[in-house]
Amino acid sequence: MFKNRYFVPFGLWGDILVDISRKSGRLVAFLRVFEECCRIAIDEKLNYLKPDLAACNAALECCCYELESVLDAEKVVATMTMLGVRPDESSFGFLSYLFALKGLEKKILELENLMVEFGFPNKQVLYNSLIVGYVKSGKTDLVSRTILRSLREGDGKDLNFNDETYCQVVKGYLENGIMKSLASLIIEAQKLEPSMLAVDKSVGHGIISACINLGLSDKAHSILDEMNAQGGSVGLGVYVPILKAYCKELRTAEATQLVMDISTSGLQLDAGLYDMLIEASMTSQDFPSAFTLFRDMRDARTHDLRGSYLTIMTGLMENQRPELMAAFLDEVVEDPRVEIKTHDWNSIIHAFCKAGRLEDAQRTFRRMTFLQFEPNDQTYLSLINGYLTAEKYFNVLMLWNDIKWKISGGKEKGIKFDHNLVDAFLYALVKGGFFDAVMQVVEKSQERKIFVDKWRYKQAFMEKHKKLKVSKLRRRSFRKMEALIAFKNWAGLNA
């Protein structure tokens, strides 16, 4: 194209060529085209052939990262000046990487002054590039110096090293076998960071997160141990990434021990992290850790406990551990932040009944009423079904006497005396042969206009009491005889 002096505007093909070269990892091929294009644009005074800033930066990137040539980089800078292309922060970043790699401290100082002259007060791109350059050249002492200097100049604020920079730092230090220096760096950085700095913006968080991202979670904990060995204070920025890694790996016992260490040091985790750790503990069926974390959460005066409470209760129910549910509920029942309701007691009673542990269900029911939580229709339904399965019909009669008093005296708060409850009582009481109570239930259902399917109770009677004769009951109890006759008349069994 250039040989034939057929000049197409750079904007039509330049960006495409940069993209192809970058994707193929061969920006050097673009550099040669760039140099020829710039020569023609300057010699022939063809503005439409002039490369833009993005193209100039691609050429500069090639010189700094692929060729690692100061001479070639300075030639590109000179060309940009002749073309009138103003550099941006990325341009300075590429050059700072190269100068750090080559140990050209004087040129780095000149670069910083130029940035100020061009109106780029934020030096984060510069610092990121310097650090990567120093790491690659093995000058870890200059890496630490640059990080601490950036904190001092920004009063601990606006530090925004990217993840890749932190990963490079970690790899550089570990390759040189100086993990202790990483611990020292974090300790010194913490002294310069403001107390209100967000956890995920701290140097400690960046370094430890990089260890985790590189699959070196044990190295992360070793850095923590080294910080303690050096007597340095450990901030949440160091702890949080390790906790999240343990959580992801379901190493919940280790995570819980770390939380205890955090609490002992006077630091406080947020509710969201507690929730995450408790959920991981329940997922791995590490119930002791979940309970320990919840107690620590309460002691830390965390305001919102309801989410973690529900996570524990749901997990215990799914794992069929009603005895732990009961013990846990008893532990937190007086904590107003949890807001225990009748539903919570019902969950335990239902789980006990489902497991056939009726004495435990009764004990929970008594504890519930003692603490003045009102049983509702769900409470009674669970108990009735549990007693029915175990054929403990007398217990159902006792429940009916309890609820009968409540609905007769207008004290049926929370109890929905509907078809489901009527059906459960009728079926169990018919099976148990308590026909006096059966007719009381029938009377209440008629008062409230609740429809009942008589066929179901006919079937129950025929299964259980097919051979029961009125004449036998006449000799034992006149009242029982009357109740049986009344039931048979109601159910249509006399025919």
- What is the tens place of the pLDDT at every residue in 380-392? 999 999 999 999 9
- Of 47 and 342, more confident: 342
pLDDT band, very low/low/confident/very high, at 129 (cuts 50, 70, 90): very high
Q: Is the pLDDT of residue 306 over 90?
A: no
- The predicted pLDDT at position 466 comes to 65
User: Mean per-residue pLDDT for 166-181?
Assistant: 88
Q: Is the pLDDT of residue 255 over 90?
A: yes
Q: Is the pLDDT of residue 198 over 60?
A: yes
Q: Is the pLDDT of residue 346 over 60?
A: yes
Q: Is the pLDDT of residue 495 over 90?
A: no
At residue 415, the 3 state secondary structure works out as coil
- Residue 492, number of CB atoms within 10 A of its CB: 10
Rounded to an integer, what distance in angstroms lies between the CA atom of residue 210 and that of residue 238? Answer: 11
CB 445 within 8 A of CB 422: yes
Q: Is the pLDDT of residue 157 over 80?
A: no
- The predicted pLDDT at position 24 comes to 85
Q: Is the pLDDT of residue 470 over 60?
A: no
Q: Is the pLDDT of residue 410 over 70?
A: no
CB 276 within 8 A of CB 246: no
Stated pTM of the model: 0.78
Tokens of 210: 């990089």
Q: Is the pLDDT of residue 334 over 90?
A: no
- The predicted pLDDT at position 270 comes to 87
Q: Which of 8-17, 135-144, 156-165, 238-247 has the lowest mean pLDDT?
A: 156-165
CB 229 within 8 A of CB 263: no
Rounded to an integer, what distance in angstroms lies between the CA atom of residue 315 and that of residue 321? Answer: 9
- The predicted pLDDT at position 461 comes to 81
Q: What is the DSSP letter of 219?
A: H
- The predicted pLDDT at position 78 comes to 95
**Strand spans (E) along 329-474:** none
Residue type, 461: F
pLDDT band, very low/low/confident/very high, at 5 (cuts 50, 70, 90): low
Q: What is the largest CA-CA distance in the chain?
A: 129
User: What does the radius of gyration of the chain's CA atoms come to, in whole angstroms?
Assistant: 39
Q: Is the pLDDT of residue 167 over 80?
A: yes
Q: Is the pLDDT of residue 213 over 90?
A: yes
- The predicted pLDDT at position 155 comes to 58
| Average of per-residue pLDDT values in the chain | 88
- Residue 160, number of CB atoms within 10 A of its CB: 15
Nearest Cα neighbor of 323 from 352, 294, 295 is 352
